[in-house]
Amino acid sequence: MNVSPDLLSEFTRTLSAQTSDELPQRLCGAFAQVVGADGAAITVGSTPSARSLLAVTGRDAEELEDLQDMIGEGPSLRAMTGEGPAVLDAHAADTITVWPGLMKALLDHTTWRPPPALYAFPMRPQKSVLGVLTAHQHDSSGLKVGLEQAQFLANAIGVAVLGDFGSGSATNERWLARDRVSQATGMVVAQLGLSPEDALAVLRAHAYAHDAALSQVSSRVVDRSLRFAAPLEEGPS
């Protein structure tokens, strides 16, 4: 694979111009900018149960990940299998047959017209997939760099993400405890007596129905402004 050294130096330049304090956040923003996308998301983990959102550039990127998790299909999930980049191009003829559920949800979505294109890259610096980097683009004009080049950056970002994990955050007990979505899941387990899987599905469905991100709904459950109890009683979205 030929990767231009310019791409790498552009990436490191863009990275140093990012203002966030969080490394994953800076990597995510720099990636979106360098590949010419409107936004991006980094998820870590290579099984559906482990998959966790690490960084997003904004609301759209987050909702696009939530949507794929809820529907259980999409490029981000496909990329976890490690077979290479997975692309959803709303204009391609076979998209509706490859991802029927996701395409329907994207077409139904009121604020995304036309549906955005999704480019998902497994972060795979060595043999195994560490997570997925997904970029989206609203006008589907195509990425500024080739898929191979973007994949190469995704692998390099995987090394940096893993280094950040290894430097202590993954073993830090406070980090382990502060997962809003899981806390909200636990609260719904207690409220409704459901399994964690079903409780998470309730949260996802609520987020989808109210056009909100899963993380927002979770925060409202944790700060007790939203409560699920039989009979279902919902606060204003």
Partner 1 sequence: MNTRSDIGMAIAAAARTMHQPRTLDETLQTIAEVARESIPGFDHVGISEVHQDGKVETRAAAGDLVLRLDELQHSLAQGPCVDSLHESNVVVAPRIRHDPRWPKYVPRAVQLGLKSQLAVKLYLNSEGTLGGLNLYSTVSEELHPEAEMLADVFAAHAAIALDHAHERRSLNEALNTRKVIGQAIGLLMERFQMNEDRAFAFLVRASSHSNLKLRDIAQELVDEGNVK
192 binds partner 1 (CB under 8 A): yes
- Binding test (CB under 8 A) with partner 1, winner from 35, 118, 157, 214: 157
| Cα separation, 237 vs 214, whole angstroms | 12
127 binds partner 1 (CB under 8 A): yes
226 binds partner 1 (CB under 8 A): no
Q: Which is nearer to partner 1, 140 or 155 (CB)?
A: 155
Rounded to 5°, angle at Cα 75 from 10 and 130: 65
Q: Which is nearer to partner 1, 47 or 141 (CB)?
A: 47
- Binding test (CB under 8 A) with partner 1, winner from 4, 12, 81, 225: 12
| Cα separation, 71 vs 132, whole angstroms | 17
Do 133 and 120 touch, CB atoms closer than 8 A?
Answer: yes
Which strands, in side-by-side order, build the sheet including 117-123? 52-56, 39-44, 131-137, 117-123, 86-88
20 binds partner 1 (CB under 8 A): no
Site string for partner 1, 37-76 (x = CB under 8 A): -------xxxx-xxxx------------------------
- Binding test (CB under 8 A) with partner 1, winner from 86, 102, 129, 133: 129
178 binds partner 1 (CB under 8 A): yes
Six-digit token string for 91? 């204009």
* Least distance between partner 1 and beta carbon 172 (Å): 10
Do 137 and 119 touch, CB atoms closer than 8 A?
Answer: yes
* Least distance between partner 1 and beta carbon 162 (Å): 6
Q: Which is nearer to partner 1, 45 or 101 (CB)?
A: 45
204 binds partner 1 (CB under 8 A): no
Rounded to 5°, angle at Cα 154 from 144 and 165: 145
181 binds partner 1 (CB under 8 A): yes
Torsion, CA 234, CA 73, CA 139, CA 1, rounded to 10: 140
The residues binding partner 1 (CB under 8 A) are 1, 3, 8, 11-12, 15-16, 23, 26, 44-47, 49-52, 125-131, 152, 155-157, 159-160, 162-167, 170-171, 173-196, 221-222
